[in-house]
Structure 1
């Protein structure tokens, strides 16, 4: 650790000492406005200096070092309209950015470049989108800077059809995590939750990002297992200039911060860093047999005393939230076309959360069909306190020659979450028990990924290769749950009414190795058509272990309500005849059970071939096929031990995925797009298992389904897009998807707190998207109104599943099961919505920019429609996610010498909306499944750039 901090100090020192350069740089990127992508071989010439200039490399980048001053610059390429930029100012020790889009004709898209000292790189994103083969959207680094987003989770909400769940996971077109994947520099990596497809976006600081692209339609050179969209996060290879940034932030939530009712527990000394320091470790071999209490074996006492005695949630102080970040990056230009680039970014955040009256309930339909209101089965209401820490580091280095670039990226993330719940659990059905519960949990999440890749330009073809090795761990040490029955003031630990003390340890370790290689071969007279081919190998390995134990009492009634009392020294069972607790007190039961412990692995090998060419100049065709062979293997057994799997092949699929996309350029700024392709969605390791995974906070148990199959999807897309100016666009899309084997979560008929995934036969959805971006700069004569920028995008989707085709436990259809539980007056339809699919999603934002004071103010609104989340079964009603209306305010101002200081104010959830899931049934009032209030968050951040 000392060496690491020494390195950081040295890095900062070198920046301060050597940061002042006599010369400055003119840098940027030349894009091909005709075909899209970088323009290789364009000439950039400083007209006042004879022989001073550069040729753009195969990434379209260039760099010129000149003496400070004002210059005229010409950008040209054979067959393209040259562009001249006057009065470009080069400052000492700084980089002036000039990004240019060259076309064969003078377009409105190009005109604004002349007016700016650096081109708004939103132009490049829109030009890439205009010329892309598939339906896509994106954000540039310039967009991040304008709005002041500190991480990607806030920025990406402005992309059409994109919503962010839980502040970090991205959904596209309302489809859930299953149908959305996230890649880093084109490579799939696991997230902090390896069972999810989307990577937690708040681990990516915007300072290190080049852009983010959202692909909404498939082409054969992309991964075959996405349907809603693929989010590709691209980090900077070569920063524009030598830059060091330091940021600190503080935040609070009224009603949470400094709340005297906040609860947590005494934790480990390294919880602040996201690590358990060993205070929660299991201090004996979990596979050693624990002797029965009747045997009076002294080892039972040793085992019981080895546990951490803390079982009770305690009053703590909810401190303000804090964050810290440091970034350093540079581009170094050597002689003979050699360029070096590097980025180092470190982030840390610490957050305290308090939910008062957090609910997690079970409701059932009445057995009397004339009764519409839902019956309480179990209610759980109380307070929950959490402390979340997140540390992340990203280090990258790149080297570029005239025809090759090689980049290495190391990503490390460490997160920890401590939580405590204190609540009342009331059973209204089976035993009428009233339990006082204390639940203490801790989860440590680790992600390490090393990416290495290169692009090379040879005579006649281009090659790109990438490799990503990742390690992911989710460690849940010593989850503790105490339930004490209280009836008329009497306390008891009788297990018959649900009382007890449970503890368990979970450990998930996963390794993944991904390698892919792509070849692009230009063909035709002008070499603008091409054939592309490549291959992929993706391997995953997982081990999952669970060890569970229980504490019991010899005397069930003579107890105290304080959970910590049970493991006090004078309350622990003893085998010593001379002890006051001889064969009396608290003892431990529970031996190693192989059920719920499993190993799994997955192999995916793929290849593709595709072609892109034009017909009659305005018509672009992109077509091809991708083939992926996937195998999954499982090792584990059920609770009874009569079903055992030993590295058994549970999935063996060969997927042939055709794709065809057509782009018709009506004018230079207007496109029509048509596309058809096939994709798949595969179950996760956890889903395709026989494991049972319990969540003590929500009291839900997830059950795996070893018979789960993949989902095949046919995708049809149409889009009209009109690029008015570099920042303005109007787009309308229509899409249709057919699902074969859509995977949904369903509740158990007799156990509503147990859920499992299942294939629900055929389903389809029809959707539309609209996007509108408008800058008022030219239209408005008022200086005030000319600074406004408005964006609106919305998705509307209607989905349906034919319940006659959905089999429940292989016996009866979902339609038949629902029919037997109809309420009086209820009409059962043949179709219901798909789970995880929102009927609409709306993102709207307005910003106000004051260039002279470098100030920006923005307001963003996001909402996703009510969606079916868990399928009911029998008397268990359906569970829906209630729309969460997110209204967020953000403002920043730069000040100080050269505007190197920035102060940012953010207010999130201005409407103070709740996060709720509810049970819904015909004629009944909605009842809470889970519900909590995240509160209104206020944060202030200060950043300084060296």
Structure 2
């Protein structure tokens, strides 16, 4: 049994009274919304009628319908109730976590049984302020710029049970259950804003959001060796994974101050121009069945080989709903977004009767604030059916051939419904499908120059499928990338030809030296880029062809060969150098050169760094119970968003340095110390690889942690 308890100080968040937060629910600490943010029952499955200003002539069918719609809209608006749109400041406590785990084994029912169970809980806070968020257009023309402050509170807890049973020798059965509950509370303020649409005014953006995720996995498996059938091995696995993601009552409030006080709803206010509340819900179930057989054999020199074959069946179903409620109507709020939705400002203010020649003719509805809904949804199904056969054949004492093929079918379907027309098809309802069969070969040679040295040469073909969201043709705000996104219903699957050559040497146990060359040819690679010239909506696009060539060096060496003082130390790392290339289409190049005359006809592949470096220095002394590691990594600039009329947006290098130290105290207690993100670099995205035009910039801060582990 093991118990662990720890805490951490986050340099930018912990105990900082400038941290942003808002009033949430009573179970936020458990990563569960208690219903505080839930969509009111009156609006579940209910269509919100459009606003009615006039009833029409009294006594007509139009009059009756208009009065009914006005009363329904008033009732639903009031049911939504008041809401906060702006955060307040309050200091969070230290980050903290705790966990417990234990297991054992015994003989049960004439077999050997074992179990392991564990639970963990973690709560973290992070914060940045005085960050920069900006957008450019038409080459280097500033479109908008904001001073950015953001707070994140994260709660994560999980539990796992693992059961194993061996009824007979060579027959193992297992069951695993894993549960994870996660929530992120997000409060954001962007102020001192500039918008080119109204350069004399000042803008603000407020965001309050709660994202709750749940994951449950059930897995049963078996491993069997049949000695009487030439040691035939049969492995099987059946799994079910259930995933949900809820975003209840995500609130966005953008306003403008032109000198007479802040107002909202103006045309120049960024999207959403009216205060808006989002309610999103996602459910997905995934089922997998995997069967594998292995038959060992000996070749003509009695060297061991094997033939393997197997079947795989996977099906996934996803349902997603997005309901947005925008608030319209007049009335001031004094510049405080939290005074925008008060009880007295909701729904109908009154009804005026209009007379003609002294007789009542019609009604005029006088509105305060009222809601208008913008609803979107999509459903997706994915079926993957596959079978493979492969063999490992020793050709010589020093040469092995490994090869085979996988036959795989894909049946992917997405139906999306959006409140606005798709920019790709011009339709509100779109059906997208990919039905495809692929034969994916692989072939490799392994030459053992020495017992501890190998040369590997291989070729394989792989595929990549578009995600449900990438194909769903609906428009929404993505809080992860802080941009609006619209899916592309015309996406295709990607295919990749992989060529690899690797030399590896193992001088001593736990030591490695290797050199690898690799080349990839990609067809229809999926990239994230601008949907339109304006650059305010991101979509997903297939790139017809791309190539990638690289070199990787990897090494791990124990340092005791320098002398006894360095016993227990080891140094390891790897570095990759990659050259990737994508050819721009004629249309892309023409658009780019309208604003950037020197734009080239090629660029690197999306999300591919030209270099990646990982280094670690480790120390392990079992006798003293001491372990320590210093880990450094950095990746070169890589394209985060492809642009149409500006330089592409690059994620700039952000070197990371972490230190972890642990010390055993006696036989039962271990004390651990960690220092993460010691370099604390600026996290920047820029227009162009070598540019001062910021897309956004912020820093994470340093986290110092201490934990105590008790084993008994």
TM-score w.r.t. the length of structure 1 is: 0.68
Check 1:261–1:769 CA distance in 2 against 1; reply closer, same or farther (3 A cut). Answer: same
Partner of 1:507: 281
Whether contact under 8 Å (1:364, 1:877) holds in the other structure is: no
Whether contact under 8 Å (2:261, 2:334) holds in the other structure is: no
Instruction: Choose which of 135, 140, 162 in structure 2 pairs with 1:396.
Output: 162
Check 1:514–1:603 CA distance in 2 against 1; reply closer, same or farther (3 A cut). Answer: same
The C-alpha deviation readout for 1:531-577, integer Å capped at 9, x for no partner, is 1111111101111111111112323xx43111111222233343556
Instruction: Choose which of 13, 37, 47 in structure 2 pairs with 1:288.
Output: 47
1:590 aligns with 2:352: no
Task: State how far apart, in whole Å, the 1-side matches of 2:436 and 2:131 are.
Answer: 43
1:907 aligns with 2:678: no
1:445 aligns with 2:218: no
Task: State how far apart, in whole Å, the 2-side matches of 1:920 and 1:781 are.
Answer: 48
The C-alpha deviation readout for 1:3-28, integer Å capped at 9, x for no partner, is xxxxxxxxxxxxxxxxxxxxxxxxxx
Instruction: Choose which of 571, 575, 600 in structure 1 pairs with 2:380.
Output: 600
Check 1:279–1:389 CA distance in 2 against 1; reply closer, same or farther (3 A cut). Answer: same
TM superposition shift of 1:422: 1.6
Partner of 1:534: 310
Higher strand share: 2
Whether contact under 8 Å (1:699, 1:753) holds in the other structure is: no
Check 1:425–1:520 CA distance in 2 against 1; reply closer, same or farther (3 A cut). Answer: farther
TM superposition shift of 1:851: 3.4
Task: State how far apart, in whole Å, the 2-side matches of 1:798 and 1:847 are.
Answer: 31
Instruction: Choose which of 279, 285, 288 in structure 1 pairs with 2:36.
Output: 279
Task: State how far apart, in whole Å, the 2-side matches of 1:927 and 1:251 are.
Answer: 35
Whether contact under 8 Å (1:355, 1:933) holds in the other structure is: yes
1:745 aligns with 2:528: yes
Partner of 1:786: 567
The C-alpha deviation readout for 1:319-357, integer Å capped at 9, x for no partner, is 110101111112335696x32121111111001111112
Task: State how far apart, in whole Å, the 1-side matches of 2:189 and 2:441 are.
Answer: 54
1:626 aligns with 2:406: yes
Whether contact under 8 Å (2:131, 2:698) holds in the other structure is: yes
TM superposition shift of 1:650: 1.1
TM superposition shift of 1:854: 0.8
1:247 aligns with 2:23: no
3-state SS of 1:751 partner: coil
Instruction: Choose which of 334, 342, 345 in structure 1 pairs with 2:115.
Output: 342
3-state SS of 1:496 partner: coil
Please give the residue correspondences for 1:469-618 in structure 2 after superposition, counting only pairs within 5 Å. 469-498=240-269, 499-524=273-298, 526=302, 528-555=304-331, 558-575=332-349, 586-591=368-373, 593=375, 596-618=376-398
Instruction: Choose which of 692, 717, 721 in structure 1 pairs with 2:475.
Output: 692
Partner of 1:894: 664
Task: State how far apart, in whole Å, the 2-side matches of 1:920 and 1:645 are.
Answer: 36
Partner of 1:136: none
Whether contact under 8 Å (2:528, 2:539) holds in the other structure is: yes
Partner of 2:547: 764
Task: State how far apart, in whole Å, the 2-side matches of 1:634 and 1:345 are.
Answer: 38
TM superposition shift of 1:291: 5.0
Check 1:938–1:921 CA distance in 2 against 1; reply closer, same or farther (3 A cut). Answer: closer
Instruction: Choose which of 408, 421, 427 in structure 2 pairs with 1:643.
Output: 427
Check 1:291–1:575 CA distance in 2 against 1; reply closer, same or farther (3 A cut). Answer: farther
Check 1:527–1:520 CA distance in 2 against 1; reply closer, same or farther (3 A cut). Answer: farther
Task: State how far apart, in whole Å, the 2-side matches of 1:605 and 1:649 are.
Answer: 20
The C-alpha deviation readout for 1:648-692, integer Å capped at 9, x for no partner, is 561011111010011111111000000001111111011122122
Task: State how far apart, in whole Å, the 2-side matches of 1:390 and 1:927 are.
Answer: 36
Partner of 1:206: none
TM superposition shift of 1:748: 3.2
Whether contact under 8 Å (1:763, 1:801) holds in the other structure is: yes
3-state SS of 1:814 partner: helix
Check 1:509–1:532 CA distance in 2 against 1; reply closer, same or farther (3 A cut). Answer: same
Point out the more displaced range, 652-661 or 452-461.
452-461
3-state SS of 1:597 partner: strand
Partner of 2:151: 385
Whether contact under 8 Å (1:476, 1:507) holds in the other structure is: yes
Task: State how far apart, in whole Å, the 1-side matches of 2:159 and 2:280 are.
Answer: 26
Task: State how far apart, in whole Å, the 2-side matches of 1:446 and 1:396 are.
Answer: 19
1:716 aligns with 2:486: no
Instruction: Choose which of 453, 456, 476 in structure 2 pairs with 1:673.
Output: 456
Whether contact under 8 Å (1:481, 1:696) holds in the other structure is: no
3-state SS of 2:53 partner: helix
Check 1:845–1:697 CA distance in 2 against 1; reply closer, same or farther (3 A cut). Answer: closer
3-state SS of 1:272 partner: helix
1:325 aligns with 2:103: no
Whether contact under 8 Å (1:572, 1:584) holds in the other structure is: no
Task: State how far apart, in whole Å, the 2-side matches of 1:884 and 1:901 are.
Answer: 36
Instruction: Choose which of 644, 653, 676 in structure 1 pairs with 2:436.
Output: 653
Task: State how far apart, in whole Å, the 2-side matches of 1:704 and 1:649 are.
Answer: 11
Point out the more displaced range, 253-262 or 304-313.
304-313
Partner of 2:655: 885
Please give the residue correspondences for 1:353-392 in structure 2 after superposition, counting only pairs within 5 Å. 353-366=126-139, 374-392=140-158
Whether contact under 8 Å (1:553, 1:584) holds in the other structure is: no
Task: State how far apart, in whole Å, the 2-side matches of 1:519 and 1:419 are.
Answer: 48
Show structure 1 runs of 5+ residues with no match: 1-243, 367-373, 807-811
Partner of 2:62: none
TM superposition shift of 1:426: 2.8
Show structure 2 runs of 5+ residues with no match: 55-66, 353-363
Partner of 1:147: none
Instruction: Choose which of 181, 192, 195 in structure 2 pairs with 1:428.
Output: 195
Check 1:735–1:698 CA distance in 2 against 1; reply closer, same or farther (3 A cut). Answer: closer
TM superposition shift of 1:255: 3.0
Check 1:402–1:780 CA distance in 2 against 1; reply closer, same or farther (3 A cut). Answer: same
Task: State how far apart, in whole Å, the 2-side matches of 1:851 and 1:619 are.
Answer: 39
Task: State how far apart, in whole Å, the 2-side matches of 1:861 and 1:546 are.
Answer: 41
Partner of 1:817: 591
Please give the residue correspondences for 1:166-315 in structure 2 after superposition, counting only pairs within 5 Å. 244-283=1-40, 284-286=42-44, 287-294=46-53, 297-307=70-80, 308-315=82-89
Partner of 2:58: none
The C-alpha deviation readout for 1:509-544, integer Å capped at 9, x for no partner, is 111111110111122365821111111111011111
Task: State how far apart, in whole Å, the 1-side matches of 2:191 and 2:476 are.
Answer: 23
Check 1:843–1:464 CA distance in 2 against 1; reply closer, same or farther (3 A cut). Answer: same
The C-alpha deviation readout for 1:33-74, integer Å capped at 9, x for no partner, is xxxxxxxxxxxxxxxxxxxxxxxxxxxxxxxxxxxxxxxxxx
Partner of 2:358: none
Whether contact under 8 Å (2:265, 2:328) holds in the other structure is: no
Aligned residues: 670
Task: State how far apart, in whole Å, the 2-side matches of 1:576 and 1:817 are.
Answer: 53
Whether contact under 8 Å (1:265, 1:420) holds in the other structure is: yes
Partner of 2:180: 413
Whether contact under 8 Å (2:294, 2:306) holds in the other structure is: yes
The C-alpha deviation readout for 1:369-400, integer Å capped at 9, x for no partner, is xxxxx221011322111110011111110112
